[in-house]
A and B are shown apart, each in its own frame.
Chain A
Amino acid sequence: MFWMHVFRFEEGKYPNVNLAFVPRPCMHCDNAPCVKVCPVGARYKREDGLVLTDYERCIGCRYCEVACPYGVNYFNWKIPADNYYIDWKSEGNPAQVIPPYRNPDFERKYGEEQRRVAGGGQYVGVVEKCTWCVHRIEKGLKPACVANCPVLALRFGDLADPDSEVSKLLATKPWSRLLEERGTEPRVYYIGGPPFREGLREV
């Protein structure tokens, strides 16, 4: 699963070229189009701001995917077992030795609502997306992308708390949000200039 898409760009003319990257996690919008269109309430917004998918309620109509301007939703087109990198069923591969990977954190229920929202790929025919690692946040950890970024390009924190690292960053530096004019109120802020500036060429 690659729920965070990273746009890769280059700009300038050889030999003066520059590379730029724009990561795109789920924006966890305050006015989320996906939450509005879901006909069964599988996609919902939590009190703490997370926008999550209840894998046990989703009927797989993909309306959220159609509605989202950022394209963050991914549908489980295949049976999960057919979707692994290794074909667990065929002979002569590590599948004989290693059982299919299971993460108990993904099978738990989370939040006040007690719904199955963590991880993904457990069920065929449902929509999944970046959860901001709800299973890590609830343990007090940072999302995996933030924790593992070697150059600290990604920050995570509580915007409601004015003393948090992210609040201070936003107070001191210029920032922008993706497709703000669509009124979705995204919760992901891009620090610095606009992420998709003129002159960028996609790689």
Chain B
Amino acid sequence: MDRKVYSTEEKILSPLIHTGREFYFFLGALLALLGWSLYAWYTQLTQGLAVTGMRDIGVGPPWGLYISNFIFFIGLAHGGIAISAAVRIAGLKTYKPITRMAELLTPISILMAALSIVFDLGRPDRIMNLFLYYFERAGQSPLSWDLAVIIIYFAFGAIYLFLTMRSDLAVLSKRRSRLGWLYKLLVLGYVSEEKEKVERLAWWMALCIPALLVLLSGGVIAWLIGLMIGRPGWYGAFMGPYFVTAAVISAIAAVIVVAAVLRHLFKWEDLIGPEIFKGLASFLATSVFVYLYFVFAEQITVRYSGPSLTPDLSVSQAVLVGEFAWIFWPMLILLFIVPGLALFIQIALRRFSLGVTTVAALAILTGLWVKRVLIVVPPLTRSLLPYPLGTYTPTWVEWSLIASCFVMTTLLYALFIKLFPLMEVRRD
């Protein structure tokens, strides 16, 4: 065991200074996986979307895993924002050590969400049409609204991350390293007095971003499907609150997982205290049950009304007892109820375990990915007219491209960790 005592600054900067052989193995493995996904994308680009399991109405769902994944990653993007808002607006200083690793989730997830849309397009070569005809369509198309809010959100997230990192970059630019030029470039025009102003600016941004959160997940993403009168099981005002809740839960769960992994990896036990995880875990436990109530509310509304909503009822049937039931019930029990109860019980018994919390958070995160698929796909296999039922089996191309989003998230995290400090550099 290495018994040398490190200063806080050294501890925070250690991932930048020391890079072991394991890191390169890890990097190599990620790149290999990415190579495989590139092959999958090549297959899809050259043969058309016929290589996916998606099909036309009456045969299969026109939207599948890609759109579900898009909604999932947009949800994750709210993690950083929620934590920063808690720290800056509500003054919950406890969470300060994890703000940056949480904020990093925002721009990365939004990139992955955008990538999911590119995977889904039949003609990705014409993607610029979205911008060319933007003003013509912005008045009507929910997809145009998505585009606008996502771009604003990405810009806010990236600027926020950069501004709050300036003073640390200044510290780095004074140290001797091979990447000195990069830090010097990034701190162009830096004066030590700017910190105060940046803090103020960040406060105002933190105040604006929660409004964007509601506009994005409770608004345009939910309206993407909630405004569709032509699909059973989608239309209604309920989608907004349903989506924004799922988004915040997945985001907090992701923050728990990321923070726990990095804390373990870099031995930051004394920098990231257990009280942080305790707070996040109680929030997670409560919100999971709020979400379960939403699932119940959605189902009872459809089922109580009966024949007048026959197509909606058939979607409910498909999920509860039909061909999606084998996904729905295990998801509900193993990925929502059990982890939710586990979190609750450990809080109630005052026996906090980081291991249990992390596994529960990971389960809930997985559950919310699956739930997005169950929101998107079943209504697309049912119709208002008596078409045959659609079926859906995602192909290896779809799974590979979905995996690539998670691989790339890990890769971008790993690269960031090696280039920039994940916590505010301080001495004590």
Chain A residues proximal to chain B, CB less than 8 Å: 5, 7, 24, 33, 35-42, 57-63, 65-71, 73-79, 82, 123-127, 178-179, 182-184, 196, 202
CA gap between A60 and B123 in the complex, in Å:
6
- Known A24-B385, A61-B121, A69-B231; 8 more pairs at CB < 8 Å: A5-B58, A33-B229, A59-B122, A59-B123, A59-B126, A66-B380, A125-B48, A125-B122
* Docked-complex contact A78 and B140, CB < 8 angstroms: no
Q: State which of B141-149, B174-182, B276-284 sits at the interface with chain A.
A: B141-149
Given contacts A40-B130, A69-B229, A77-B49, contact A126 B137 (CB under 8 A): no
What B residues does A178 contact at CB under 8 A? 385
Q: Which of A38, A124, A182 contacts B137 (CB 8 A)?
A: A38
* Docked-complex contact B50 and A78, CB < 8 angstroms: yes
What A residues does B49 contact at CB under 8 A? 60, 75, 77, 125
Interface of B, helix, strand, loop or mixed by DSSP: loop
Q: How far is the CB of B220 from chain A (nearest CB, A)?
A: 12
* Docked-complex contact A124 and B140, CB < 8 angstroms: no
* Docked-complex contact A41 and B231, CB < 8 angstroms: no
**Using a CB-CB cutoff of 8 Å, which residues 213-246 of chain B contact chain A?**
225, 228-231
B428 on the A face (CB < 8 A): no
* Docked-complex contact B63 and A66, CB < 8 angstroms: yes
* Docked-complex contact B386 and A68, CB < 8 angstroms: no
What B residues does A73 contact at CB under 8 A? 56-57, 62
Classify chain B's interface size. Answer: 35 or more
* Docked-complex contact B123 and A70, CB < 8 angstroms: no
Interface of A, helix, strand, loop or mixed by DSSP: loop
What B residues does A57 contact at CB under 8 A? 126, 129, 133
CA gap between A124 and B132 in the complex, in Å:
21
What A residues does B230 contact at CB under 8 A? 33, 66-70, 182, 184
* Docked-complex contact B133 and A126, CB < 8 angstroms: no
B155 on the A face (CB < 8 A): no
Of B47, B62, B132, B228, which is in contact with the most chain A CB atoms at under 10 Å from its CB? B62
Q: How far is the CB of A74 from chain B (nearest CB, A)?
A: 5
B190 on the A face (CB < 8 A): no
* Docked-complex contact A60 and B122, CB < 8 angstroms: yes
What A residues does B126 contact at CB under 8 A? 40, 57-60
CA gap between A70 and B386 in the complex, in Å:
10
* Docked-complex contact A179 and B231, CB < 8 angstroms: no
CA gap between A62 and B228 in the complex, in Å:
13
**Complex: chain B residue closest to A71, CB-CB:** B57
* Docked-complex contact A75 and B122, CB < 8 angstroms: yes
B127 on the A face (CB < 8 A): yes
CA gap between A77 and B62 in the complex, in Å:
10
CA gap between A91 and B130 in the complex, in Å:
42
What B residues does A182 contact at CB under 8 A? 229-230, 384
What B residues does A123 contact at CB under 8 A? 123
CA gap between A91 and B48 in the complex, in Å:
24
Q: How far is the CB of A66 from chain B (nearest CB, A)?
A: 6
Q: How far is the CB of B17 from chain A (nearest CB, A)?
A: 46
* Docked-complex contact B142 and A65, CB < 8 angstroms: no
**15 A-B residue contacts at CB 8 Å?**
A37-B228, A39-B130, A40-B129, A40-B137, A60-B123, A60-B126, A66-B225, A66-B380, A69-B231, A71-B56, A71-B57, A74-B56, A82-B47, A179-B384, A196-B386
CA gap between A59 and B56 in the complex, in Å:
16
CA gap between A202 and B121 in the complex, in Å:
34
Given contacts A39-B143, A71-B58, A183-B229, contact A61 B137 (CB under 8 A): no
**Complex: chain A residue closest to B143, CB-CB:** A39
CA gap between A145 and B133 in the complex, in Å:
34
* Docked-complex contact A61 and B143, CB < 8 angstroms: yes
B120 on the A face (CB < 8 A): yes
B55 on the A face (CB < 8 A): yes
**Complex: chain A residue closest to B58, CB-CB:** A71
Q: Which of A76, A82, A179, A202 contacts B122 (CB 8 A)?
A: A76
* Docked-complex contact B122 and A71, CB < 8 angstroms: no
Of A60, A82, A178, which is in contact with the most chain B CB atoms at under 10 Å from its CB? A60
What B residues does A5 contact at CB under 8 A? 58, 387
Q: How far is the CB of A46 from chain B (nearest CB, A)?
A: 16
